[in-house]
Structure 1
Amino acid sequence: MAPLPLARLAVYNRPFSYVGVDYFGPLLVKQGRSNVKRWIALFTCLTVRAVHLEMVHSLTTASCISCIRRFVCRLGSPVEFFSDNATNFHGAERILREQINNGIQATFTNSNTKWTFIPPGAPHMGGAWERLVRSVKTAMGDAYTEGKLNDEELQTFIEEAESIVNTRPLTYLPIESIESEALTPNHFLLGSSNGVKLPGIDIVQGTSQDAWNHIQRQLNRFWQRWLKEYLPVIRRQIKWFDETRNVQVGDVVLIADETKRNRWIRGRVIDSIKAQDGHVRQAIVKTSGGVLRRPVSKLAVIDVGISAASEANRPHPGENVSADTSIERSDNPEP
């Protein structure tokens, strides 16, 4: 298993410094006598696992940029975005990056903000936000009646779902004290699981400096609990212990995409992308239809090739084939 990325370990950073974003829907809402489609954009903090939901009116790039601007205005500019390869995400990243390069005031108030895309065909690499899409849908449950709500009612509805998801426990209930509660994303956003001040978290009487120090101590206490209770849980590695050979440049592979029956895309690896642990987890494959980027989980390496010696002994057209001519096995066929 791959080690946790740095975005999952950004301790003592502002929530939503590292953000995963995804869309889900559409949802039908009432507008006059007809129903129109609406989508929900989910932003999740990859460190404290908090979520922020925005209602989106279309899948266009312009609508995506407006959604991101609303998010940044409320929760600040992130250090890095993570998403899949939807065309509206690519379009938003390109336009916003052009604005920064041209010196125009853009959504990314931090010029060092990056946008990282997972490989195409690898939704499991976006599991951090895909799983929360399901949690939001579960929170919405049967209360949402398709085509019965208007825009204002749907906005209220998804914000209530956001509040429910942010109160979910990240850790087990502590046994030291009955009054203690499990750590939740709302502890980092609101100071408690439900936003109501708990005993011992009220601002102490005194100067503003004393109040500031008191709040900082409470936040540090939450982060200490995060390190002791939550981090050991997400660091567990429960499968994929055996070492396997990395995909190498020149390997002939079959791309296991969801294609038509009996249609297998074959190509040759022209570049391999290594992760920080030294393992290849993405590769650039050249096929007859173009160049594709795919995760190694979708590549089946063909380990039978033609060695250099057998290639030299291969008869030319028109020559007789001798009895000792054979095709040898080679783990590293020449490109």
Structure 2
Amino acid sequence: MVIQYYHEHSNHMGLMHVLSLMREKVWVIKGHAAVRRVLSRCVRCRRAHGKVIEQLMADLPLDRVESGKTPFYRTGVDLFGPFFVKRGRAQIKHWGVIFTCLNMRAIHLEVASNLRSDKILSVFRRFLARCGQVKTVRCDCGTNIVGSWKFLDSSYEFLAGNKVRNELLGCCDIAIGGHSKQRWKQVKHMSEQFWARWKREFLLGLQQRQKWFKERRNVRVGDVVLMVKENEARCHWPE
């Protein structure tokens, strides 16, 4: 009760200030621990100074540690910008689109003149024409990207429903001449060397976590929490 009184009387100041005010009148045995215990249960102080909940960083997904695949076989995509481009006397907005290989961290850049889904599809088509087919694409939930993927899904369902299949590769016999065969062996050897160095030099460096080292207790039903909003002051965060 005494510690609580001085803590509220000092307008919820910190440990040392509350302890110094209290010792002007009384001396509490093991005062540091007692004041710290009271301050840790103060709802107003926890709201003002509580730390954001963290959890142990998860292991990397298989997409990041799988070897032996072609560049951009598994790809991440995001948009950045806008950038202002001068056209005549007017300035127009353009956005950058970055594609990154999830395995070897190669980067491919494209430019989008607007954020409509049809323009994102055009950017993705140019990326495929230059870098080849991909198996997995990871992105955020932007409406333009989600709209593009929905259009691709609906197109695929339409083609599958009409039993349209691409059988060209299965019907072709590929003949490899002497020079082409030697070139193919050389490229294969260089690819094996690259992936061997990738495992030895790059993959091991991904094992070290940069943050979130400890496993914490998860939020449970009945816990009083604050929802973090980065663009608002802490006193305005909703409970």
What do the CA deviations read for 1:199-230 (whole angstroms, capped 9, x no partner)?
Answer: xxxxxxx5432321121011100110010011
Q: Percent identity?
A: 40
| Other-structure match for 1:231 | 203
State the shift of 1:253 in Å.
3.9
Name the CA distance, whole Å, in 1 between partners of 2:151 and 2:194.
38
- Equivalences for 1:99-114 in 2 at 5 Å? 99-103=155-159
State the shift of 1:6 in Å.
1.2
Name the CA distance, whole Å, in 1 between partners of 2:86 and 2:224.
53
What do the CA deviations read for 1:283-321 (whole angstroms, capped 9, x no partner)?
Answer: xxxxxxxxxxxxxxxxxxxxxxxxxxxxxxxxxxxxxxx
Name the CA distance, whole Å, in 2 between partners of 1:54 and 1:67.
7
- Equivalences for 1:195-214 in 2 at 5 Å? 207-214=179-186
Q: TM-score, structure 1 length as denominator? A: 0.46
Q: What letter corresponds to residue 72 of structure 2 in structure 1?
A: F
Name the CA distance, whole Å, in 2 between partners of 1:16 and 1:25.
23
2:92 to 29, 36, 45: 36
Aligned to 1:42, the other structure's residue is in SS state strand
Q: What letter corresponds to residue 265 of structure 1 in structure 2?
A: P
1:24 to 62, 80, 104: 80
Structure showing greater Rg: 2
State the shift of 1:16 in Å.
0.3
Name the CA distance, whole Å, in 2 between partners of 1:95 and 1:49.
28
Aligned length: 169
What do the CA deviations read for 1:49-106 (whole angstroms, capped 9, x no partner)?
Answer: 11111111001112111111111222223211111222111211222111112227xx
Q: CA RMSD in A?
A: 2.7
Q: Does 1:15 align with 2:60?
A: no
Q: What letter corresponds to residue 67 of structure 1 in structure 2?
A: V
Q: TM-score, structure 2 length as denominator? A: 0.63
Name the CA distance, whole Å, in 2 between partners of 1:4 and 1:257.
27
| Other-structure match for 1:2 | 58
CA gap of 1:259–1:29, structure 2 versus 1, over 3 A, is: closer
| Other-structure match for 1:245 | 217
More helix by share: 2
| Other-structure match for 2:230 | 258
Name the CA distance, whole Å, in 1 between partners of 2:184 and 2:95.
40
Unaligned runs of 5+ in 2: 1-56, 167-177
Name the CA distance, whole Å, in 2 between partners of 1:250 and 1:98.
43
Aligned to 1:102, the other structure's residue is in SS state helix
More strand by share: 1
Q: Which has the higher contact order (CA 8 A, sep 6+)?
A: 2
CA gap of 1:32–1:220, structure 2 versus 1, over 3 A, is: same
- Equivalences for 1:88-107 in 2 at 5 Å? 88-103=144-159
